[in-house]
Chains A and B, each alone.
Chain A
Amino acid sequence: MTRTAAFTREQLRAPFTLVLLVIVPVIFVVASAGVLGDFARAQGGSLAADAASSLAAGWAAAFVAGTLGFFAASSSRGADRRLALAGLGPARVAASRISASMLLALIAAAAAFGTLLARTGVAHPWHAAAAVLAYAVIYLAVGVLVGSLVSSPLEGSLAVAFVFLLDVFSGPGMAAQAAPYSISRKAADVLIAAGSGNASDAADWVKLAVISSACVAAAFVAFVLAARSRS
Chain B
Amino acid sequence: MSRVATATRLGVREQARRPLLLVLLVGLPFFFITRAIAATEKLPRTIELAGGREVLTNMRDIHGATMAAITVAFLAGLVGVFVMQSVRQADRRLVLAGFAPMQALTPRLLVLLAATGLVLVVSLAVTALSFTPQAWLAFAAGTLLVGMTYGLLGTLAGAVVGRLGATHLMLFGAMLDLGVVQNPMFGSGAPPSWAVALPGYGPGRVIVDGAFSGSFHAGGALALSIAWVLVLGVIVAVVLGRLVSVQDRAARRWRHADRRLTT
Distance of A38 Cα from B179 Cα, bound (Å): 13
Q: Which residue of A lies closest to B79 (CB)?
A: A154
Q: Does B167 contact A (CB under 8 A)?
A: yes
A153 on the interface (CB 8 Å rule)?
A: yes
Partner of B28, one of A15, A63, A153, A161: A161
Number of A residues, CB within 8 Å of B: 42
- Interchain CA distance A28-B35 in the complex, whole Å: 23
Select A158's contact among B24, B161, B165, B180, beta carbons within 8 Å. Answer: B24
Of A17, A67, A152, A157, which contacts B161 at CB under 8 A?
Answer: A17
Bound form: Cα–Cα A157–B169 in Å: 13
- In angstroms, Cα B163 to Cα A177, docked, is 35
Complex CA–CA separation, A16 to B24 (angstroms): 28
Q: Is the CB of A68 within 8 A of B164?
A: yes
Query: When the two chains form their complex, are residues A15 and B172 in contact, meaning their CB atoms are under 8 A apart?
Result: no
Please, how many angstroms separate the alpha-carbon atoms of A175 and B40 in the complex? 9
Flag A127-167 by CB within 8 Å of B: 1 or 0 each.
00000000000000000000000101111011101100110
In contact, B176 and A31 (Cβ under 8 angstroms): yes
Q: How far is the CB of A171 from chain B (nearest CB, A)?
A: 12
Q: How far is the CB of A87 from chain B (nearest CB, A)?
A: 29
A67 to B165, CA, bound (A): 9
Among A13, A38, A169, A174, the residue within 8 A (CB) of B185 is A38
- Contact A155 B20, beta carbon cutoff 8 Å: yes
Q: Say yes or no: B24 contacts A44, CB within 8 Å.
A: no
Chain B interface residue bracket vs A: 35 or more
User: Is B169 a contact partner of A24 (Cβ separation < 8 A)?
Assistant: yes
Give B35's nearest chain A residue, CB to CB: A169
- 0/1 per residue, B145-173, Cβ < 8 Å to A? 00000000000000011111101110110
B176 touches A32 (CB 8 A): yes
CB-defined interface of B181-203 with A at 8 Å, one 1/0 digit per residue? 10001110000000000000000
Residue pair A155, B18 in contact (C-beta under 8 Å): yes
Complex CA gap A38/B41 in Å reads 11
List 24 A–B pairs whose Cβ atoms lie within 8 Å, in order of A's numbering.
A15-B160, A17-B165, A24-B169, A24-B172, A27-B176, A31-B181, A35-B187, A43-B39, A43-B41, A44-B39, A44-B40, A63-B171, A64-B168, A67-B168, A71-B163, A153-B163, A154-B82, A157-B167, A158-B25, A158-B75, A161-B171, A162-B28, A165-B32, A174-B39
